[in-house]
Chains A and B, each alone.
Chain A
Amino acid sequence: MALAAMQSVDMQGTMAPKLAVQKLTLSNFRNYVSARLDVDQGPVLLTGENGAGKTNLLEAVSMLAPGRGLRTAKTREMDRAGGDSPWAVSATVMSTMGEVSLGSGREPEGERRLVRINGANARSQAALGEYVNVVWLTPQMDGLFQEGASARRRFLDRLIYGFDSAHAGRLNAYDKTLRERSRLLKEGRADAAWLDALETQMVERGIAIVAARKTMAERLNLVCRKADGPFPGAGVAVTGSLEDWLGRMPALQTEDRFKQALQENRRRDAETGGAAHGPHRSDLEVTHLGKGMQASLCSTGEQKALLISIVLAHAKLQAAELGTAPILLLDEVAAHLDADRRAALFEILLGLNSQSWLTGTEPGVFEGLLDRAQLFRVANATIERIDNNN
Chain B
Amino acid sequence: MNEIEQVIQLLSRLPGLGPRSARRAALHMIQKREGLMRPLADALDRAVENIRICATCGNIDTHDPCSVCTDPKRDDTQICVVEQVGDLWALERTGAFRGRFHILGGVLSALDGIGPEDLNIESLLSRVGPDQPVKEVILATNLTVDGQTTAHYLTERLAASGVSVTRLAHGVPVGGELDYLDDGTLSAALKARHALES
Among A183, A197, A198, chain B packs the most CB atoms within 10 A around the CB of A197
Q: Is the CB of A123 within 8 A of B156?
A: no
B175 to A197, Cβ gap below 8 A? Answer: no
B19 to chain A, nearest CB (A): 10
In the complex, chain A residues 332-389 whose Cβ is within 8 Å of any chain B Cβ:
none
For residue B48, CB closer than 8 A to chain A, the reply is no
Q: Is B145 an interface residue (CB 8 A)?
A: yes
B89 interfacial by beta-carbon distance below 8 Å: no
Binary A-proximity of B108-124 (CB < 8 A = 1, otherwise 0) = 11110001100000000
List the one stretch of A78-86, A136-144, A169-177, A217-225 in contact with chain B: A169-177
Of A44-52, A97-105, A187-195, the stretch lying at the interface with chain B is A187-195
Nearest-neighbour CB distance to chain B for A17, whole angstroms, equals 31
- A180 sits at the interface (CB 8 A): yes
User: Are A196 and B111 neighbours in the complex by a CB distance under 8 Å?
Assistant: no
Q: Mark B128-152, 1 if CB is under 8 A from A, else 0.
A: 0000000000000000010011111
- Set of chain B residues within 8 Å of A198, measured between Cβ atoms: 149, 152
Does A73 touch B at the CB level, under 8 Å?
no
B152 touches A197 (CB 8 A): yes
- Identify whether the interface residues of B are mostly helix, strand, loop, or mixed: helix
Partner of A193, one of B109, B156, B174: B156
Instruction: List chain B residues, Cβ under 8 A from A296.
Output: none
Contact partners of A184 in chain B: CB under 8 A: 110
Residue contact B145 to A196, C-beta cutoff 8 Å = no
Say yes or no: is A146 at the interface (Cβ < 8 Å to chain B). no
Q: How far is the CA of A169 from the CA of B156 in the complex (A)?
A: 25
Question: Quick check: is A215 within 8 A (CB to CB) of the other chain?
Answer: no
Q: What is the count of residue pairs linking A and B with beta-carbon distances less than 8 angstroms?
A: 54
Which of B111, B115, B151 is the one whose CB lies under 8 Å from A191? B115
For residue B149, give the distance in angstroms from its CB to the closest CB of chain A: 5
* B156 interface neighbour in A176, A177, A187, A196, Cβ under 8 Å: A196
Binary B-proximity of A195-209 (CB < 8 A = 1, otherwise 0): 011101100000000
Partner of A194, one of B108, B174, B175: B108
Task: Evaluate contact between A177 and B115: CB separation under 8 angstroms.
Answer: no
Nearest-neighbour CB distance to chain B for A214, whole angstroms, equals 22
A173 to B174, CA, bound (A): 11
Residues in B with CB closer than 8 Å to A196 are 152-153, 156
Residue of B nearest to A198 (CB): B149
User: What is the minimal beta-carbon distance from B143 to any residue of chain A, in angstroms?
Assistant: 10
Least CB distance, A252 to chain B, in whole angstroms: 13
Interface size of B by CB at 8 A reads 19
Q: Cβ of B115 and Cβ of A197 under 8 Å apart? A: no
Q: How far is the CB of A189 from chain B (nearest CB, A)?
A: 7
Interface of A is mostly: helix
With A124-B175, A177-B149 already in contact, the answer to whether A197 and B111 are too (CB < 8 A) is: no
Flag if A176 contacts B145 (CB, 8 Å).
yes
* Complex Cα spacing A194 to B180, Å: 27
Q: Chain A residues near B156: list those with CB within 8 A.
A: 193, 196-197
Contact with A along B168-191 (1 / 0, CB 8 A): 000001110000100000000000
A179 at the interface (CB under 8 A from B): yes
Chain A residue at smallest Cβ distance from B109: A180
Contact residue among B145, B157, B175 (Cβ-Cβ distance under 8 Å from A177)? B145
Q: Once the chains bind, are B174 and A169 in contact (CB under 8 Å)?
A: yes
Number of interface residues of A (CB under 8 A): 22
Chain B 160-174 against A: per-residue CB contact (8 Å), 1 yes, 0 no?
A: 000000000000011
Q: Nearest chain A CB to B104's CB is how many angstroms away?
A: 14
CB-CB under 8 A from A123, the residues of chain B are 173, 175, 180
A173 touches B110 (CB 8 A): no
One of A177, A187, A194 near B116 (C-beta < 8 A): A194
Also in contact, A197 and B153, with CB within 8 A (given A169-B175, A177-B145): yes
Query: Across the two chains, which residue of chain B brings its CB closest to A108?
Result: B18
Instruction: Say yes or no: B153 contacts A193, CB within 8 Å.
Output: yes
Residue of A183, A193, A201 with most partner-chain B CB within 10 A:
A193
A180 contact set on B, CB distance < 8 A? 109-111, 145, 149
Closest to A173 in B: B145
Instruction: Pick the most buried of B116, B153, B157: most chain A CB atoms within 10 A of its CB.
Output: B153
Residue contact B111 to A179, C-beta cutoff 8 Å: yes
Contact partner of B110 (CB less than 8 A), chosen from A169, A183, A193, is A183
Q: Do residues A197 and B150 form an inter-chain contact, with CB atoms below 8 A?
A: yes
Partner of B152, one of A179, A191, A200: A200
Nearest CB on A from B178, distance (A): 14
List of A residues within 8 angstroms of B150 by Cβ: 197
28 contacts between A and B (CB under 8 A): A123-B173, A123-B180, A166-B174, A169-B175, A176-B111, A176-B145, A180-B109, A180-B110, A180-B111, A181-B110, A183-B110, A184-B110, A189-B110, A189-B115, A191-B116, A193-B116, A193-B156, A193-B157, A194-B116, A196-B156, A197-B108, A197-B149, A197-B150, A197-B152, A201-B145, A201-B148, A201-B149, A201-B152
Give A residues with C-beta under 8 Å from B: 123-124, 166, 169, 173, 176-177, 179-181, 183-184, 187, 189, 191, 193-194, 196-198, 200-201
**Given A123-B173, A193-B153, A197-B149; 4 other pairs, CB 8 A cutoff:** A193-B157, A194-B116, A196-B152, A197-B108
